[in-house]
Amino acid sequence: MRRLINRILKKSSPEKQLILQLEHLLGFTPRRISYYQLALMHRSKPEDATDSNERLEFLGDAILGAIIAEYLFKKYPYKPEGFLTELRSRIVRRETMNNVAVRMGLNKLVQYNQNDRGLSRSHIFGNALEALIGAVYLDRGFSITRTFILNQLVKAYIDLDTMESTDTNYKNQLLSWAQKNGHTMTFDTLEEKQEGTRKLFIVGIVVNGEVMAKGSGFNKKEAGQVAAQNALVIINGNKESE
């Protein structure tokens, strides 16, 4: 431990600051800071795309999925495979990870092109969190990575009881509403436009030939979910006013 502290003291001021910030997030002192610096580097920032966090994100995503699967398998010994798969999907989905990343303050550490306003509304912080998991794994191994995910992420920021009882698939909810009430409904891509370095999709919920609600996202699936959520807000609002 003394050797580690001495190495930290010898580092440059920005590196020392990053190490202190990471200690707060991780619950331990990182050893190879270069892994973490790479994990926090979005592809929009460096001139060379190979210096981005995408490879670490790939690794972290796989490790996260395996650890969450093991955790749920042991936590719910009598639940069927379908339940476990659905709950794992809700935990590791981009929206959940992005929300956790922002709540833990990781968004303040990610390096990205801040002139591209669309990036801050995408899932780059959740992607960086997965890259951070990859960095932890390479730096400290599987056991510490597992402890980090379960203690610093799942137990600190994810309410499994609420997640278990809440249907967050807005598309399915909306389709059920349409079928129950005899409406014809489609998800139509209304517009595709370039926002910074990425393509932004605008999807509309068309009910009985009229656009009820719209949603945007950096892929059609995400935009569709946002549009469906907006449509459900309108439907529930109409119910309350009746």
CA dihedral 61, 66, 69, 71 (to 10 degrees): -110
Query: How far is the C-alpha of 86 from the C-alpha of 154, rounded, in Å?
Result: 16
Q: Helices 94-103 and 81-92: crossing angle, nearest 10°? A: 50
Catalytic site includes residue 130? yes
Choose, from 61, 95, 192, 210, the residue flagged as catalytic. 61
Give which of 234, 238, 178 is closest to 208, Cα–Cα: 178
Q: Where are the alpha helices (DSSP H) in the chain?
A: 2-10, 13-26, 33-39, 54-75, 81-92, 94-103, 124-140, 142-147, 155-157, 160-165, 170-181, 220-241
Query: How far is the C-alpha of 111 from the C-alpha of 127, rounded, in Å?
Result: 12
Give which of 132, 87, 88 is closest to 110, Cα–Cα: 132
Instruction: Find out whether 65 and 149 touch, Cβ atoms under 8 Å.
Output: no
Angle at 33 between CA 29 and CA 37, to 5 degrees: 125
Catalytic site includes residue 159? no
**Six-digit token pair at 47?**
């001139």
Choose, from 130, 167, 210, 242, the residue flagged as catalytic. 130
The residues carrying an active-site annotation are: 61, 130
